[in-house]
Amino acid sequence: MGDKLHQGKKRLVQAANPVPKSIDIMEVVSVSELARKMNLKASDLIAKLMSMGQMVTINQQIDSETAAILAAEFGADVNIVSLYDETLIETEADDADSMTPRPPVVTVMGHVDHGKTKLLDAIRSADVVSGEFGGITQHIGAYMVETPNGSITFLDTPGHEAFTRMRSRGAQVTDIVVLVVAADDGVMPQTIEAINHAKEADVPIIVAINKIDKPEANPDKVRSQLSELGLQPEEWGGQTMFVELSALKKEGIADLIEAILLQAEILDLRVNYNRSAEGKILESRTTDGA
């Protein structure tokens, strides 16, 4: 009698709180949070995950793919939302009269060993009044370079994956991409990858042909290879700016800065400084509380 009464109560609770047809989650979600969104007990989800061969605890986080499979087992669809969407931040409209010029945000990309880090070091050391935020590490670094003709904000990312994620979430943080290609090596796989990312994000590319101080350097070969990929040099009748430089000898750095500022002038980048600030998260990590 007691068992039947308990089962009856359980059916009443489930009827009052049915599993929704659709739920919103971020890229990762804890088992307890997912259970709350689905109007289920965490133990129900843990049991289902165990049957799928996964041993989890109530506070353990699972990725969105696993969460989607798990939700489907209970007849629910999953929608992936960003933190921005989840927090529903309201953006103010800007008046055209309040917009003033702003510095360009430049991401430097290129194949491994083509001198990206050396170039960033050369740019930073050439600027005696730069404000550094993060520095150049294996993580994402950002710093601002002051020039007589304006400021430039540089982003240094450890790889192209972060740039892709930013683009896919709609966080358009980059105005210009500087593509570093070694004059003695030419176009490589990550070079092509970087070009594709920049084109998909509709971001203009400035090509920095590095290592021109090497005896085996062949800048025209680089121009020819990149022309085949749709980056036609201005001097060949195209629209892409090419700058020859040597990050090691700090030669051509001023020419690159000038090219960036010229591209920024063409883009006519403007912002309203007299409003509530908004920011984009470039990199984040979580740590165990232990």
- Which are the catalytic amino acids? 113, 116-117, 160
Go through 173-189 and write b for each residue having 16 or more CB atoms within 10 A of its CB, e for each that does not: bbbbbbbbbbbbbbbbe
Encoding tokens for residue 154? 């540089």
Distance CA 235, CA 246 (A): 20
Cβ within 8 Å of residue 77, ≥6 positions away: 21, 22, 23, 68, 71
Tally the residues of the chain.
290
Distance CA 34, CA 286 (A): 19
Computed over its alpha carbons, how large is the radius of gyration of the chain?
A: 26
How is residue 96 annotated by DSSP? G
